[in-house]
């Protein structure tokens, strides 16, 4: 199982949903970086379960303990290890899932790949619980990026077909991006957020779930990050974004809409602002030739509905080799999108930081 990712800043994640703890090791952080632990706490709280009726009732504070690599308020240059203890597991709710596979989940594929030795409780290592370490990494990365004037923010772009307005592709003010993180339901138009909440609650009452999309933007990114082909900015981001559970689609800029445009419509006309180059549109999402072009980085991800739902579903009993009907017990999010917003921001910030270091840009 591959649990390590990154070039200059490598991160290893470990643990299972119902194990004693989950955590991460960050290798490659420069020595002497001052970290604001309160800022990390705020980011972790955004993703933590049990905050309201829109998420799972599992009550985890996502409190962490930094075990190494941090002393007297600053990084030491050694690997930074953080441990997040699991406190509210209800493993008995998952006993049936040892042999009865959940539709839409990684149960069957994982059972085959790991010959039945995988921890199936709460999804084990396939669980969204493992996104908590990603948020910790992102909280660290955001602090380093802020010093360089780079801000990352995201909002719930849609839930079940109910849509928020999009970011201005030419850029949003930093206050808009950071302000989203302070909202319980991060949308640009609060009235649409209320309709989204109604949609989520309706699915919950029906013992069902609903998916949606997240739009993410990064401003202040310099020109020239990334490499053509295999290490393009899109390639690097797509790799880490698709590593987030439930992400099933990614589009940069206008994405699939570009396929219906003429070249004259899709191209971004350029002009001079003093000695700097700018573009009149940003259909390509801030990346051309796989390299950042100085425009805001803009992309959307599609999040599928939570596969664990309480409605009866047709599936198989792997031990008996027979068809069966599964009614899932336990505590699950009726919509993952809300809690995925800080995760998408986190992996984006981490990837941008890694690209900066790969380009030998000083922090």
Query: Domain extents for the chain?
Result: 4-358
DSSP 318: T
DSSP 284: T
Give residue for tokens 């999402």. 285
DSSP 185: S
d(CA 356, CA 363): 8
* Superfamily holding 4-358: Chorismate synthase AroC (3.60.150.10)
The tokens for 324 are: 């069966």
Q: CA 350 → CA 12, 49, 170, 223, 240, distances in Å?
A: 13, 22, 23, 18, 9
The tokens for 357 are: 């270091």
The pLDDT value given to residue 108 = 87
The tokens for 5 are: 């990712």
Longest dimension (CA), the chain: 72
Give residue for tokens 């772009």. 157
Burial label, 200 (beta-carbon count in 10 A; 0-12, 13-18, 19+): buried
**Counts for the chain of helices (H) and strands (E), in that order:** 8, 18
d(CA 97, CA 137): 31
User: With helix as H, strand as E and coil as C, how does 109-168 read?
Assistant: HHHHHCCCCCCCHHHHHHCHHHHHHHHHHHHHHHHHHHHCCCEEEEEEEEECCEECCCCC
The pLDDT value given to residue 271 = 96
d(CA 309, CA 312): 8
What region does 96 belong to: left with phi over 0, alpha with psi -120 to 50, or beta?
alpha
* Among 83, 270, 286, 55, CA closest to 168: 286
The pLDDT value given to residue 94 = 63
Full pLDDT tens readout for the chain, 363 residues? 578 999 999 999 998 878 888 999 999 999 999 999 999 999 999 998 766 677 665 556 788 999 999 999 999 999 999 999 987 555 565 677 788 888 988 888 888 888 887 777 767 677 788 899 999 999 999 999 999 999 999 999 999 999 999 999 999 999 999 999 999 999 999 999 999 999 999 999 999 999 999 999 999 999 999 999 999 999 999 999 999 999 999 999 999 999 999 999 999 999 999 999 999 999 999 999 999 999 999 999 999 999 889 899 999 998 899 999 998 876 678 999 999 999 999 999 999 999 999 998 766
Q: CA 289 → CA 78, 170, 197, distances in Å?
A: 35, 19, 39
H/E element holding 302? strand 297-303
């Amino acid at each position: 199982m591959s649990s390590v990712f990154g070039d200059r800043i490598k991160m290893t994640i470990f643990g299972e949903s119902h194990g004693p703890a989950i955590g991460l090791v960050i290798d490659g952080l420069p020595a002497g970086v001052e970290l604001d632990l309160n800022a990390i706490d705020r980011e972790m709280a955004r993703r933590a379960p049990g905050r309201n009726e829109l998420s799972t009732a599992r009550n985890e504070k996502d409190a962490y303990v930094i075990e190494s690599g941090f002393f007297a308020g600053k990084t030491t240059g050694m690997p930074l290890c953080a441990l997040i203890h699991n406190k509210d597991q209800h493993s008995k709710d998952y006993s049936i899932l040892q042999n009865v596979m959940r539709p839409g989940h990684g149960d069957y594929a994982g059972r085959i790949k790991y010959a039945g030795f995988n921890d199936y409780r709460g999804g084990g290592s396939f669980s969204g619980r493992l996104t908590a370490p990603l948020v910790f990494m992102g909280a660290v990365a955001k602090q380093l990026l802020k010093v360089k004037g780079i801000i990352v923010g995201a909002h719930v772009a849609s839930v079940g077909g109910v849509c928020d307005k999009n970011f201005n592709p030419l850029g949003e003010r930093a206050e808009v991006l950071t302000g989203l993180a302070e909202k319980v339901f991060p949308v640009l138009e609060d009235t649409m957020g209320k309709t989204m909440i109604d949609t989520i609650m309706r699915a919950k009452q029906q013992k069902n779930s609903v998916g949606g999309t997240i739009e993410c933007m990064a401003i202040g990114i310099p020109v020239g990050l990334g490499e053509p082909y295999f290490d393009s900015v899109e390639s690097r981001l797509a790799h880490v974004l698709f590593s987030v559970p439930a992400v099933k689609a990614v589009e940069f800029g206008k994405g699939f809409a570009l396929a219906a445009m003429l070249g004259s419509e899709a191209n971004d006309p350029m002009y001079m602002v003093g000695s700097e180059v700018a573009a009149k549109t940003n259909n390509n999402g801030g990346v051309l030739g796989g390299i950042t072009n100085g425009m805001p980085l803009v992309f959307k991800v599609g999040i599928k509905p939570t596969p664990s739902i309480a409605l009866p579903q047709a599936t198989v009993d792997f031990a008996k080799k027979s068809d069966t009907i599964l009614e899932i017990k336990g505590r699950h999010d009726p919509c993952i999108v809300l809690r995925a917003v800080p995760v998408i921001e986190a992996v984006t910030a981490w990837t941008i930081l890694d690209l900066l270091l790969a380009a030998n840009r000083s922090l």
